[in-house]
Structure 1
Amino acid sequence: MTYQKVPVTILTGYLGSGKTTLLNKILSEEHGKKIAVIENEYGEVGIDQGLVIDADEEVFEMSNGCICCTVRGDLIRVLGNLMKRRDKFDYVLVETTGLADPGPVAQTFFMDDEIRAEFTLDGIVTLIDAAHIDQQLERSNESSEQVAFADVLILNKSDLVQEDALVKLESRLRDMNTMARVVRSTNADVPVETVLNLSAFDLDQILERRPTFLEPEYPFEWSGVYQLEPGRYEMTLEDGPDPAMSLVAIPGQQSDEESLKQSAEQCVRLFALPARSLKPGDSIAANQHLNLELDTSGRKSFVFDVNSAQTMGFYAQHTAEEFDLRIMPADRDAPVSPIKERVWVAEHEHDDEVGSMAIERTGNVDPEKLNQWIGTLLAEKGVDIFRTKGFISYANEPRRIVFQGVHMLFTAQPGTEWGDEPRRNQLVFIGRNLDEEQMRKDFDQCLI
């Protein structure tokens, strides 16, 4: 049976721009489509899936992380699983984290042969928070990229901005992206045809604006190929920038540039799989493809045996120099030098100051104490708190209280009923310079 390619819309926009609100609207419309939703969240606790309404559509959550690096493989994995269930859906919506550059997400639908054969990128829709976009554009490269890649720009929360400011903002957005359609909205209320079935993504236009678009970015920074004779080897690492480092080992790795690039694409998928955690002294199997997570606090060593002469490739999350990575034969004091090394440098940079924190507590919250705490927190730290979202449990209230905030703006309203589900409080904050210990302590004072 021959299938048509499944259209995909990428839904992007900075933190708090209204992506989930728009997603809920799409899922509640009578459009006759069976939609699979893929979400990528930022932070250690997944909140957004709970904010999506209970609909017939299925929601798939991707791993935490930079979607342009570690999560690209996860996106490929989820789409690969969807291929096996083609009768269950006929459209895909990918909602990215507000901190993601949508370029590498779009890139996935052109770089991976299997994905390209099954899916077609219909368009990129970017939501704009009209009340905060000016400061976001000044402080975030991701916001600029989200505007630049859009086929449609939805200027959301237009009711919060004066008309002359909206006209000026629209002019600025058109200067940044002359090809995109600009649509005003309140509460992300736009016709569904504004988002679906656009047939708008033009690869030639993207390549004209960014010639490097089809040059992939990877979840690793370094690869090394070693010629190893039979025997026992010890991999040693010193202290580095992180307490752990992901590493993929590929036996039989060839050292020519084309082979390295082919293995690099394979590693995108391998990095998305659960890694085997290794502690000092553990053995590495040298005869199979492995995704490893190495404990690197202090000097560490890992042992592996080579049964027959072969080449071995290692693809590491960080460069070998950062951890002084060495491969030592058991019968020699000098390390083996790689016959080929390559550094893989991503074009984008991450904002290392931006982080997330989560608070999870059981029990009920005193509404007055919570409002006082949130009000004080946002008044004092609101500039640095980009996004606030979560669920709260009030005593004698059968429904979850859903709260969402952007900087100093904050809303809380009843959501779905708890039913038989255990009552709990889940809060996620995304921002800069978050005092996690103090925030958790202050929240605990709000519990009954």
Structure 2
Amino acid sequence: MLQSSLNLKPKRKPVTIITGFLGSGKTTLLKRILEEKHGQKIAVIVNEFGEVGIDDKLIVEKNSEMVKMTNGCICCTMQNETSKVLINLLEKGNEFDRVVIETTGLANPLPIMRQFLSEEFIKDNYQLDGVVSMIDAFHIESQLDKHIETKEQIAYSDLLLLNKTDLIDQEKIEPIKTWLHAINPSAPIIETQRSSVAIKEIFDLQAKSREAILQHSHNHQHIEDSQITSFVLEESRPIAMNRLNEWLNSTLLLYSGDLLRYKGIFYIKDRPEKIILQGVHTIFEKTEGKLWTDDEEKKTELVIIGRGLDKDIFEQSFKASLN
């Protein structure tokens, strides 16, 4: 069953998912979020407290499910399903500005992403801001060859942190970036060492998505061994909202098993604002974006990532929906 929503609630708390293969540097990044003075009250959901290694001197309060830090952050364990942890955070009156969720090293982030697009309470109170993937520069080549999970984590991500770049020869970095962009052309790549990245860089990723789409709008990449295809649909003519809904539903019915991630901006007929779409498999969400400005080119730009998809077929069907 296809599920969608046009959710206009402005006060939902943004959520960032941190994914990445075993040993990529997720734990180091989470530890920095919990311990550094960055001025934000962040609820961090991890698999186990012990894995993060929180400095006891920075703990204000601690119980079996939650640790409160001196910098205002909260650390929770994944003892229950993610949705239950998120509900408990609100019901217990905790003060926080946003949420960061850690996935296990082998986990596909899709199940967590789906909750923010399909479960009513979660949709009403939280908004998926983005997925950040930690990439181990030293091991990424072998991981791409041996583990489909690595490719899927990259494909679902909005930002790629290429970590441990100090452990490889500098001439290897650009080829690695080429591999990563072949899987996901719209995700920016930030080079890091020891997971050192400005905290602000991993947040507000949806607000940065238009720039990323424009930057890679002419890319059409394909990797033979993984069959992961990525491309961007562009159209300068407006589409009626009802025709867009029809196109989305028919497309998802045809390609539900092959679509991994799709996100973009739509130029809608007789609407002054942009319509933002993001989806995983057959579940998607449409939200109202900013108004189009007079000096801005109005156009639809949709990033599509999946397995063995044909860009020409998608373009033809979308153009047919304009008439």
TM superposition outliers: structure 1 runs of 4+ over 6 Å: 206-211
Question: Contact 2:31 / 2:53 at 8 angstroms: preserved in 1?
Answer: no
- Corresponding residue for residue 281 of structure 2: 212
What amino acid is aligned across from residue 159 of structure 1 in structure 2?
Answer: D
1:59 equivalenced with 2:92 (yes/no): no
Structure 1 residue 12, shift from structure 2 partner = 0.8
- Within 2, Cα distance between the matches of 1:127 and 1:160? 15
**Stretch deviating more after TM superposition (126-135 or 82-91):** 82-91
Question: Contact 2:110 / 2:280 at 8 angstroms: preserved in 1?
Answer: no
- Within 2, Cα distance between the matches of 1:89 and 1:7? 10
- Within 1, Cα distance between the matches of 2:76 and 2:158? 24
Query: Over residues 60-108 of structure 1, what are the superposed CA-to-partner deviations in whole Å (9 max), with x where a residue is unaligned?
Result: 1114xxxxxxx7xx10110110121455211111011111101221111
Q: 1:52 to 1:197 in 2, by over 3 A?
A: farther
What amino acid is aligned across from residue 190 of structure 2 in structure 1?
Answer: V
- Corresponding residue for residue 39 of structure 1: 46
Q: Which runs of 5+ in 1 are unaligned?
A: 64-70, 216-448
Q: 1:141 to 1:21 in 2, by over 3 A?
A: same
Q: Which runs of 5+ in 2 are unaligned?
A: 1-8, 59-68, 210-260, 265-275, 285-323
Query: Over residues 257-292 of structure 1, what are the superposed CA-to-partner deviations in whole Å (9 max), with x where a residue is unaligned?
Result: xxxxxxxxxxxxxxxxxxxxxxxxxxxxxxxxxxxx
- Within 2, Cα distance between the matches of 1:119 and 1:208? 16
Query: Over residues 125-153 of structure 1, what are the superposed CA-to-partner deviations in whole Å (9 max), with x where a residue is unaligned?
Result: 11100000111112211111111011110
TM-score, length of structure 1 as denominator length:
0.41
- Within 1, Cα distance between the matches of 2:196 and 2:160? 13
Across the aligned residues of Structure 1 and Structure 2, the Cα RMSD in angstroms comes to 2.8
Q: 1:17 to 1:211 in 2, by over 3 A?
A: closer
| Larger fraction in helix | 2
Question: Contact 1:100 / 1:142 at 8 angstroms: preserved in 2?
Answer: yes
Structure 1 residue 28, shift from structure 2 partner = 3.2
Q: How many residues align?
A: 201
Q: Which has the larger radius of gyration?
A: 1
Structure 1 residue 171, shift from structure 2 partner = 0.6
- Within 2, Cα distance between the matches of 1:164 and 1:50? 34
Question: Contact 2:113 / 2:280 at 8 angstroms: preserved in 1?
Answer: no
Query: Over residues 400-433 of structure 1, what are the superposed CA-to-partner deviations in whole Å (9 max), with x where a residue is unaligned?
Result: xxxxxxxxxxxxxxxxxxxxxxxxxxxxxxxxxx
Query: Over residues 224-268 of structure 1, what are the superposed CA-to-partner deviations in whole Å (9 max), with x where a residue is unaligned?
Result: xxxxxxxxxxxxxxxxxxxxxxxxxxxxxxxxxxxxxxxxxxxxx
1:114 equivalenced with 2:121 (yes/no): yes
- Corresponding residue for residue 193 of structure 2: 186
Q: Secondary structure at the match of 1:30?
A: coil
- Within 1, Cα distance between the matches of 2:55 and 2:159? 22
1:131 equivalenced with 2:147 (yes/no): no
Question: Contact 2:262 / 2:280 at 8 angstroms: preserved in 1?
Answer: no
Query: Over residues 196-236 of structure 1, what are the superposed CA-to-partner deviations in whole Å (9 max), with x where a residue is unaligned?
Result: 23235978528999762429xxxxxxxxxxxxxxxxxxxxx
Question: Contact 2:34 / 2:74 at 8 angstroms: preserved in 1?
Answer: no
What amino acid is aligned across from residue 123 of structure 1 in structure 2?
Answer: G
Question: Contact 2:34 / 2:75 at 8 angstroms: preserved in 1?
Answer: no
- Corresponding residue for residue 153 of structure 1: 160
TM-score, length of structure 2 as denominator length:
0.57
Question: Contact 2:12 / 2:126 at 8 angstroms: preserved in 1?
Answer: yes
